[in-house]
Structure 1
Amino acid sequence: MSRERVLVAMSGGVDSSVAAALLVEQGYDVIGATMKLFCYGDEVPDRPCCSLDSIDDARRVCEGLGVPHYVLNMEDAFGRDVLQNFVDEYARGRTPIPCVRCNSFTKFRDLLAKADAVDAQWIATGHYAQARGGELFRGLDPAKDQSYFLWGIDRAVVSRMLLPVGALTKAETRARARALGLHVVADKAESQDICFVPGGDHTVVLAKHLASGDAALSRGPILLSDGRKVGEHEGFARFTIGQRRGLPGGYAEPMFVTAIRPAERAVVIGPRDELLGRGIIAREMNWLV
């Protein structure tokens, strides 16, 4: 009887490596795939994921498991669906979450298309969440739960997802990696930053993709809620709602960014209570439970 085939997205980290190993243990016909999402230039520092070294780590893990490994060039799709959206949102005065976009499109929707091309019934990743019958659930370990970052995935995709480490804690995942002989990744550091943002400074990315003199990175006023000007900034895209760092001082209480007004190039600041609102506008609702 033929085994069910699964295409596993492998970042070169411990979570996706253990996911692949567990699926091999469970009898699946596993194919490992590492997605190359952007050009790895000198400005992108070494990191636990999304580097040439990580691709090599994923290859070595697959070699040890006795399964094939492929590198998928997803630069065009990632640039269109994730990177351009990242730039556009900052230019509109909003703070994007590119990991959600990447999961919603590149890492799952586009990966599923690749799975269909190799006759794989399933796709899998190393996310700490659980998928059952087309429904998405939190990971068993509340400290590592990543279901939030998967909220945008279509239900049809969720119905073909396997998330093998979703029922493990991080410590258990590392222990399984050691027990399975995955020494290449067992103690590898976790990735914390946005993969394509060098040094955690998102304005470097914006400066490369926005026109010279774009309003998002141009000088503008810092205002109080009553309209009084209390300073200037070097671009509203450097700020996010709730931010404290980089604001004028000398106030009796801590000040926060309470609003960003792109049309005026203005950043509005105020005390904590001015962060409160009476409602919320939610877009792109997706019911997965």
Structure 2
Amino acid sequence: MIAPSRLGRFADSVLVAMSGGVDSSLTAALLAGEGRPVIGVTMKTFCYSGVEGPSRTCCGLDGIADAKSVAAQLDMPHHVFDVEEDFTRDVIDDFVSEYAAGRTPIPCVRCNSFTKFRDLLRRADGLGCRWLATGHYARVVRPGAGRPELRRGADDRKDQTYFLWGIPRRALDRLLLPVGDLTKPQVRAEARRLGLDTADKPESFEICFVPDNDYAGVLRRYLPDDHPALSPGAIRLEDGSEAGRHPGYAHYTVGQRKGLPGGFAEPMFVLEIRPSSRDVVIGPRTSLARSRVVAGGVNWLADRPAAGERVGVRIRHGAPIVDADVLEATSTGFSLDLPTPQAAITPGQSAVLYRGDLVLGGGIIVSAGGPLASRVPGRS
């Protein structure tokens, strides 16, 4: 059994974001087991009637039903709030515009940064809740009189701080993350012990509004048929020669190998997407390596690092944290030098900075070099 002391002891009520998965279910159960007043909330993010396939995702209709079932088990109130309009504006519209511009966005970062946490804080206020809790694998540390800090989850394989760098810093003052000290097997074991309906529910990895990972299919619903992102273009080698044709650059992302022309002495990868000419540039793996990262649209969750400081950076989900030297860090962006060049630094993905396990903040990758960008299109 998990010791209640891990969660701290606060008398005030807690709003728990419940996706219908085991992590948020256990979060609610642990807090309710503390004797706290707990209210469950699930967000309905978009209209499911026009999209096939997402019902079993964390944000799908099954997720809503599972969240309601666990709330009933715990004898706690549960609300479903419709945030479709905000989600469409903040996440889906951004997804479409970023792919149309040749970048590769991360909808979950966008959702947490712009839709979920801001709305959850507002809902918490409306329901009279002092605290907000989620099932993310991350930790909030409150160091005495200092400001709360976001730190990596105890299980690095499940750490989700990569998706949380954009949340409002003020959210840390009210945020509880009960499963951040646990591993996934520990979470499932405790959920089974408590008899939660979601204890053995499979994890969902797909984007909730992208059935079958068909990104281009989503774009076709929102963009005109003749949009450049969905129009044929050239696949070129680094020297500019044409190696083949593609059906639309929205089908490709930096670092991709699948779907490229064959017949070369070594495997080829996407190196660059050029929306203005509709070219997709390919080359060998060695050409993917870059030693410079430029990011914009930054959000700092701690004091920003100084120029010359060595920090850690994660440039994509699941990638290791690697050393980086800060060239510049401002209120709007940062640029880094990587002592060990990294492959597939992809515009539109996140670059998250760490000092040890402390999350300093993050931004959206603009390029693997060039001048510091002050703003990322689509982010305000």
TM-score tier after normalising by the smaller chain length: over 0.9
The equivalent position to 1:148 in structure 2, one of 162, 185, 196, is 162
Query: Scaled by the length of structure 2, what TM-score is found?
Result: 0.74
Runs (4+) of structure 1 moved beyond 6 Å? none
Percent identity, please. 58
Q: What stretches of structure 2 of length at least 5 have no aligned partner?
A: 1-9, 143-147, 303-380
Query: Aligned partner of 1:63: which letter?
Result: A
The aligned residue for residue 187 of structure 2 is 173
Alpha-carbon shift at residue 288 of structure 1 (Å): 2.2
* Secondary structure in 1 matching 2:297: coil
The aligned residue for residue 176 of structure 2 is 162
2:63 matches 1:50: no
The aligned residue for residue 30 of structure 1 is 38
Alpha-carbon shift at residue 5 of structure 1 (Å): 1.3
Contact persistence 1:135–1:155 (CA under 8 A): no
Alpha-carbon shift at residue 142 of structure 1 (Å): 1.1
Contact persistence 1:5–1:29 (CA under 8 A): yes
The aligned residue for residue 214 of structure 1 is 227
Alpha-carbon shift at residue 278 of structure 1 (Å): 4.1
Deviations 1:73-123 (A, max 9, x none): 010111111111111110110000111111112221111111111111111
2:123 matches 1:97: no
> Relative to total residues, which structure has the larger helix share, 1 or 2?
1
* Secondary structure in 2 matching 1:56: helix
CA RMSD of aligned residues (A): 1.3
For 1:192 and 1:153, locate their aligned partners in 2 and report how far apart those are by CA, in whole Å.
21
Query: Aligned partner of 1:180: which letter?
Result: L
Task: Give the alignment of 1:246-265 within 5 angstroms.
Answer: 246-265=259-278
Alpha-carbon shift at residue 206 of structure 1 (Å): 0.8
For 2:40 and 2:54, locate their aligned partners in 1 and report how far apart those are by CA, in whole Å.
25
Contact persistence 2:132–2:174 (CA under 8 A): yes
Contact persistence 1:8–1:32 (CA under 8 A): yes
The equivalent position to 2:141 in structure 1, one of 132, 157, 168, is 132
Q: What stretches of structure 1 of length at least 5 have no aligned partner?
A: none
Deviations 1:199-258 (A, max 9, x none): 111111111111221110110110011110111101101100000000000000110000
2:245 matches 1:236: no
For 2:34 and 2:156, locate their aligned partners in 1 and report how far apart those are by CA, in whole Å.
25
Deviations 1:135-193 (A, max 9, x none): 110111111111111011121012211111111110110111111120x1000000111
Contact persistence 1:132–1:159 (CA under 8 A): no
Alpha-carbon shift at residue 281 of structure 1 (Å): 1.2
The aligned residue for residue 217 of structure 2 is 204
Contact persistence 1:48–1:188 (CA under 8 A): no
* Secondary structure in 1 matching 2:151: strand
Alpha-carbon shift at residue 276 of structure 1 (Å): 2.1
Query: Aligned partner of 2:209: which letter?
Result: F
* Secondary structure in 1 matching 2:155: coil
Worse-matched range after superposition: 33-42 or 250-259: 33-42
